[in-house]
Amino acid sequence: MDEILEILEKDGRATAEEIAKMLKKNPQAIKGAIKKYEKEGVILKYKAVLNKDLVRDEDSHVRALIEVNILPQKDVGFDKIAERIYSFPEVSSCYLISGTYDLLIVVEGKNIQTVSSFIAEKLSCLENVRGTTTHFLLKKYKEDGVILKHKEENKRIAISY
């Protein structure tokens, strides 16, 4: 992968000037390369990785990983049903996977009931969906290569004899 992309993947806030300094290149060349990557769709968006456990609000979300077993359609395979599934606003990610199941989707909702309703009322009733297995995320330790919570210091008082 290009060095510019590697830097931006690790830190989307890195400026063209900072990248140019790291790579010992012209800042204008870096800006041009970034614009080209954006235009070609290589860079789709810049985002912050949040530790949502530290954001205390009433709109906290529940996330679930759902394995979906589907019946592929003639001449289009998995793509058409995957497109139908990832079009739902509740679905934040959708992957074609190997193994027992065909798709792995990440679904977000306000609570367990909203995710369950999505599965029962929208996902499971789709014509080509043959079965699902749901895993609710209980705690995140690391996301997108970022450790979300630092180790707490041992607060015990040392006892010596």
Same domain, 70 and 9: no
Report yes or no on 95 lying in a domain.
yes
For residue 81, what are the CA distances in angstroms to 56, 115, 129? 36, 19, 8
Can you give the CATH number for the domain in which 78 is found?
3.30.70.920
Same domain, 26 and 76: no
Number of structural domains, the chain?
Answer: 2
Tell me the per-residue pLDDT of 93-114, one tens digit each, with 9 for 90 and over: 999 999 999 999 999 999 999 9
User: What Rg value do the Cα atoms of the chain yield, rounded?
Assistant: 21
Report yes or no on 144 lying in a domain.
no
Report yes or no on 52 lying in a domain.
no
| Residue type, position 36, single letter | K
Pairing relationship of beta strands 142-143 and 62-70 according to DSSP bridges? unpaired
CA distance 26 to 14: 15
Same domain, 34 and 63: no
Residues 6+ apart with CB under 8 A from 53: 139, 140, 148, 149
Domain ranges, residue 33? 3-40
Whether pLDDT at 154 is above 70: no
Question: Above pLDDT 90, what percent of the chain?
Answer: 68
Same domain, 65 and 9: no
Whether pLDDT at 57 is above 70: no
Question: Above pLDDT 70, what percent of the chain?
Answer: 91
Torsion angle in degrees (nearest 10) through CA of 37, 41, 45, 49: -90
pLDDT at 92: 94
Q: Where does residue 152 rank: exposed (0-12), middle (13-18), buried (19+ CB within 10 A)?
A: exposed
Query: Which of the two residues, 151 and 49, has the higher pLDDT score?
Result: 49
SS3 label, residue 130 = strand
Residues 6+ apart with CB under 8 A from 87: none
Same domain, 76 and 110: yes
Report yes or no on 122 lying in a domain.
yes
Same domain, 33 and 107: no
